[in-house]
Structure 1
Amino acid sequence: MSIVSDTFCNAFRFISSPYRYEALIPGNTELVVEYREKLYCFEDLNKLHKFMRLPEKYYNLKLPHKLPHRKDPLMVTSLPMLGYMEQTLSTAITKAMTAAGLFKPKFPFLSVSRSALIYVAFHLKAYNPKSSDYVRKKYKRKLQQFEEHCELIAYLGNNMSQRYREPGERPIDFDHKMVTFLNLEGIEPTPTWVA
């Protein structure tokens, strides 16, 4: 409970004795009582009833000179761009960047930085909690396909030799992966991309 001063309404939450500054919390303006020409505002009905049983016990309480600031809800959309991004996107971007750092994507015929940017974009789309299940599943498939194409370079590098090997001596899926790799030249994955 607390004393109402002008439009500012505070309430005491009794944590321990003596009462501390941290114990002040905003009161509900619907729960106000006048006692000895002072107004008291309460957090809830239980505290109002407690006050009403022994109002004299709380009458001489002195509030600190400096009252806590009012905690008005802040709309995220009213923040500057950097603050908005920090409050809404930072976790998703951190997860996408971490995934890119762990996977180290390199799409055939694209630079490493371009591959990483595309990977982060697909990751953000695939794990966007505000998208529908259908959209998330679609982009998870695209992300998986992108990862498979990025792994072609390492696979072909590990299975190629300097000397020609007959088709029967090559790994079973080598020719298929080589054709897939060569067909990716000049193609850049986009949100509508299907390989």
Structure 2
Amino acid sequence: GQAACINRLCITPKELHCRLGEFGLYCPVCLALHYHLVDCSEEKALTYAAEYTGRYYKMCNKDHLERFLLTPDKFVTPGCPFTLPASDQLPVKLTTNQVKNRFPQEAEMKGFCPVTYLEGKQRYEALVRGKIEYAADYKQKIFFFETDQKRHKFMRTPETYSNQKLPVKVPPICEPVSLTSLPVLGYLEQGVSEAIIKAMTAVGCLKPKYPFFTIQKSALIYLALYLKAFNRNSAAYNREEYKKKLALFEEDCALVPYLGSTMSGDYKPPNERPIDFEFKINRFFSLK
């Protein structure tokens, strides 16, 4: 009936995972004493881990380990006054790539650090923008933080910081920010507006109509091919490949007005038709 430290007992990660207690890798002492969510998963060693009634528990420091070993019943069910939230209700650190993969989802509080804002008594001067490299997810929402330490504070007590309201007036963006941290319209304006304007101008000049496609579908396909063909971020061979596809698409679109003008009027015998007429009409029907 006593708790015991399991440090240096050669317990494998698989065995640890199989026998974890009801709090997983969260410190049960922090949870019981302060309702703090302290994730111990980053510490791979079992220096502050203990076994009690056949279950394993990880603590965050030596003091909490000693408290647990002395009175374990206070820190496990049913003695612990709190339960660990469901896994989808727990805060999770996000990498820069994970944040980018969530685009177009925007950061909460317009990217301002919720911890700095609350610690600054929610004054205007405390509105400091967080950084994408210090991001976290909480209840499917993204938050940015000024420093890793402030992200750590948020992870311990996310409810303390996550429901704040910004004032109507907030500081302007006065330093470069990553495109993915901008609102959707801002991202489009800064990232692709010039390319889209050029592509739309090309569509307006050509007015493409692909055989057997609607005008709308023809325009959308042309727009996509144009953007691919002139994407400066693509490799040169990719751009060349799409330029060839764009040229072929333009040629096929030209079949409609060509055949319309050539076939108007009275019937003409084969020897009076243009040399390329048979080839183009066969090409036209092959696209159906």
TM-score band by shorter chain is: 0.5 to 0.7
> What RMSD in Å do the two structures reach over aligned CA positions?
1.8
Q: How does 1:108-127 map to 2 (within 5 A)?
A: 108-127=211-230
Report Cα offsets for 1:115-168 as digits up to 9, x if no partner. Answer: 000000000000000001100000000000000000001111111144332211
- 1:141 aligns to what? 244
Q: Which one of 230, 233, 236 corresponds to residue 130 of structure 1?
A: 233
Point out where structure 1 has 5 or more consecutive residues left out of the alignment. 1-68, 186-195
Change (3 A) 1:70 1:84: closer
Report Cα offsets for 1:23-69 as digits up to 9, x if no partner. Answer: xxxxxxxxxxxxxxxxxxxxxxxxxxxxxxxxxxxxxxxxxxxxxx8
State the 1:71 CA deviation: 3.5
Q: How does 1:34-183 map to 2 (within 5 A)?
A: 71-183=174-286
Give the distance between the partners of 1:161 and 1:82, measured in 2 at CA.
48
Give the distance between the partners of 1:163 and 1:70, measured in 2 at CA.
68
Change (3 A) 1:111 1:70: closer
State the 1:109 CA deviation: 0.5
Change (3 A) 1:74 1:168: same
Question: How many residue pairs get matched?
Answer: 118
State the 1:73 CA deviation: 2.4
Report Cα offsets for 1:79-119 as digits up to 9, x if no partner. Answer: 01111111001110110000000000000000001100000
Point out where structure 2 has 5 or more consecutive residues left out of the alignment. 1-171
> What percent of counterpart residues are identical?
53
Give the distance between the partners of 1:89 and 1:161, measured in 2 at CA.
43
Give the distance between the partners of 1:76 and 1:124, measured in 2 at CA.
19
Q: How does 1:23-38 map to 2 (within 5 A)?
A: none
> When the two structures are superposed, what TM-score results if normalisation uses the length of structure 1?
0.57
- 2:25 aligns to what? none
- 1:63 aligns to what? none
Amino acid at match of 1:140: K
Change (3 A) 1:128 1:70: closer
Q: Between the two structures, name the one with larger relative contact order (CA 8 Å, sep ≥ 6).
A: 1
